[in-house]
Amino acid sequence: METKKYILDDIRLRSEQVNEILENPPHWLIRWGSLLILVIIAFFFLLASIIKYPDFIESPIIITSENPPERMEVTMDSRIEKILFQDHQQVRKGDLVLILESTANYKDVLALERLADSFSTSGLLNGFPLKETALFRLGEIQEDFNAFAKAVQDESLFNTLEPYAAEGLMADKNIRDYESRIVNLKQQFELEKAKVQLTEKNYSRCELLQQRGVISPQELENEKLKLLEAQRSLKNTQITIAQLDESIVNFRKTKAGVNINTVKDKATFSTAAVQLFEKLRKSIRQWKRTYLLYSSTDGTLSFLKFLSEKQFVKNGTNLFSILPDSRRVIIGQMLIGPQNQGKLKPGQKVLIKLDNFKYQEYGIIKGLVKSISLTPDKDNKYYVEARLPHGLKSSYNKNIPFDKELSGNASIVTEELTIAQRIFNQLRAILKYQES
């Protein structure tokens, strides 16, 4: 018991000593401790004023050229009929690369297109070689070709048979005959006119003789009958001439109608042939877009999947791409959401980390924002294009090879604020919110 009491007294004694130290700390500790804390605070404030913590807008990016690789896709479910080039083979612009199965023979369709192009420049469809093309296997465009061939045949038959020619020739013959008769009748009219004049003079003399009693009234009446007969004959001749003139006018109207109908029907047949010809050419172009895949540029062919003849491919499948030989300017393409679009400005820094080349080993690519679309696309995203002033030279001074499109992630630096500025901005925002 005495030992426990001694220990308790000793604890109490030490507690009082500790309390005395705590109640009266040394003055040097207070001074140097406060100074150390101020130095630490000032050091952190200096660091916060120096260290920058920029705002980033993250986005996937595609590094490509202004003439990017062209991807070719099928527009319908079909099978591959023929592959004319191998993977990684050089192709020229306009080369036929791949053919899809069709009910038409592609060689016949291409031959028909060449014929159509040659006749489109001349504009004369009557000479189109229908016999040569009759055996072509045209499949999907056969119906349009048949309609065009019928139109050409109808126009050719119209030009050959000339159905209005007989009526026109008959009108010309009647006009010539009637004009000849009119000439004769006019001569006859002049003779009968002279006869009437002489008969009138004779009747006048007879009338004087009858008044003198030389001739009888009956003889005078006979002379009057002769005069009336001559006048009637003259009038009939005049009427006949007028009738013939009217007939000639009608024949000329008939001839004009024949000419009008000939020109009209010829234009109708020709227009129908031209319209069906253009429809046929349109069908050929549509067939080529559907079943034939061409190279649109000089470059290297690259299959995007395993391809073989008789292989089934679905609509919308990308079969191959062509990397152009001439890749002028390398650019970056991004799509940014609307929530960040307002911070974007041309000239802002773009930091690019490539998927194909890890940035820990190869570094990052630096670029600048070149342009921003004014309106969003159908997915409500804005197209942003970045230029690469130093090309594909990385921050580690490594040149990244560019033999295909490169993908990666881009960080667009929108604001370069220090940590202190961000703290002050937050405090300012809090104070404004409390005041409001």
Q: What's the pLDDT tens digit per position in 70-86?
A: 788 888 888 888 888 88
Q: Which residue did the predictor score with more confidence, 13 or 294?
A: 294
Task: Please tell me whether residues 213 and 330 are part of one structural domain.
Answer: no
Q: Please compute, for residue 224, the number of CA atoms within 13 A of its CA located in the half-sphere on the CB side.
A: 8
pLDDT of residue 19: 59
Helix and strand totals (H; E) in the chain: 10, 14
Which of the listed residues 294, 318, 347 is the one where a domain comes to its end? Answer: 294
What average pLDDT does the structure give for the chain? 80
Beta bridge partners of 372: 384
Confidence of residue 425 (pLDDT cuts 50, 70, 90): low
Query: Nearest to residue 392, comparing CAs of 333, 347, 352, 348?
Result: 352
Task: Read off the CATH number of the domain in which 370 is found.
Answer: 2.40.30.170
Which of the listed residues 294, 314, 339 is the one where a domain comes to its end? Answer: 294
Q: Inter-axis angle of helices 27-50 and 419-435, to 10 degrees?
A: 90
Backbone φ and ψ for 392, nearest 5 degrees, come out as -100, 30
Task: Please tell me whether residues 46 and 63 are part of one structural domain.
Answer: no
Average the pLDDT over 120-142 and give the result. 77
The answer to whether residue 73 is domain-embedded is no
Which long-range contacts does 233-237 make (Cβ < 8 Å, 24+ apart)? Answer: 233/192, 233/195, 234/189, 234/192, 234/193, 234/195, 234/196, 237/185, 237/188, 237/189, 237/192
Task: Please tell me whether residues 30 and 124 are part of one structural domain.
Answer: no
Query: Nearest to residue 147, comparing CAs of 265, 291, 281?
Result: 281
Q: What's the pLDDT tens digit per position in 369-420?
A: 988 888 888 888 889 989 888 888 888 888 888 766 788 999 888 776 666 6
Task: Read off the CATH number of the domain in which 101 is found.
Answer: 1.10.287
Average the pLDDT over 49-58 and give the result. 71
Lowest mean pLDDT among 127-136, 230-239, 347-356: 127-136
Confidence of residue 203 (pLDDT cuts 50, 70, 90): confident
Q: What's the pLDDT tens digit per position in 135-176?
A: 888 888 889 989 988 888 888 888 888 787 777 888 888 888
pLDDT of residue 124: 65
State the Cα–Cα distance between residues 45 and 378, nearest whole angstrom.
47
State the Cα–Cα distance between residues 358 and 352, nearest whole angstrom.
11
Q: Exposed e or buried b for every residue in 57-86, given b needs 16+ CB within 10 A?
A: bebebebbbeebbeebebeeebebeebebe
The answer to whether residue 86 is domain-embedded is no
State the Cα–Cα distance between residues 10 and 23, nearest whole angstrom.
20
The answer to whether residue 79 is domain-embedded is no
Confidence of residue 8 (pLDDT cuts 50, 70, 90): very low
Task: Please tell me whether residues 282 and 207 are part of one structural domain.
Answer: yes
Query: What's the whole-model pTM score?
Result: 0.58
pLDDT of residue 5: 47
pLDDT of residue 153: 86
pLDDT of residue 51: 62
Task: Please tell me whether residues 344 and 258 are part of one structural domain.
Answer: no
323 burial via Cβ count (<10 Å: 0-12, 13-18, 19+): buried
Q: What's the angle, vertex CA 317, arms to CA 323 and CA 78, rounded to 5?
A: 120
The answer to whether residue 87 is domain-embedded is no
> 114: which residues sit within 8 A by CB, 6+ positions away?
none
The answer to whether residue 300 is domain-embedded is no
pLDDT of residue 53: 62
pLDDT of residue 134: 82
What is the number of structural domains in the chain?
Answer: 3
Q: What's the pLDDT tens digit per position in 297-340?
A: 888 888 888 888 888 888 888 888 887 776 666 888 888 888 77
Q: What's the pLDDT tens digit per position in 23-35?
A: 565 565 566 667 7
pLDDT of residue 1: 46
pLDDT of residue 337: 85
The answer to whether residue 308 is domain-embedded is no
Task: Please tell me whether residues 111 and 45 are part of one structural domain.
Answer: no
Average the pLDDT over 336-365 and give the result. 86
Distance from the Cα of residue 347 to its chain's centroid = 34
Average the pLDDT over 279-291 and give the result. 90
pLDDT at 44 over 80: no
Task: Please tell me whether residues 23 and 116 are part of one structural domain.
Answer: no
What is the span of the domain harbouring residue 288? Answer: 96-294
Task: Please tell me whether residues 289 and 348 are part of one structural domain.
Answer: no
The answer to whether residue 37 is domain-embedded is yes
pLDDT of residue 434: 63
> 323: which residues sit within 8 A by CB, 6+ positions away?
69, 299, 300, 302, 403, 404
Residue 75 near residue 289, CB atoms below 8 Å = yes
Task: Please tell me whether residues 26 and 155 are part of one structural domain.
Answer: no
DSSP output for 37-93: HHHHHHHHHHHHHHSB--EEEEEEEEEEESSPPEEEE-SSSEEEEEE-S-TT-EE-T
The SS3 call for residue 135 is coil
Task: Please tell me whether residues 165 and 268 are part of one structural domain.
Answer: yes
Task: Please tell me whether residues 21 and 59 are part of one structural domain.
Answer: no
pLDDT of residue 377: 86
Task: Please tell me whether residues 206 and 284 are part of one structural domain.
Answer: yes
The answer to whether residue 332 is domain-embedded is yes
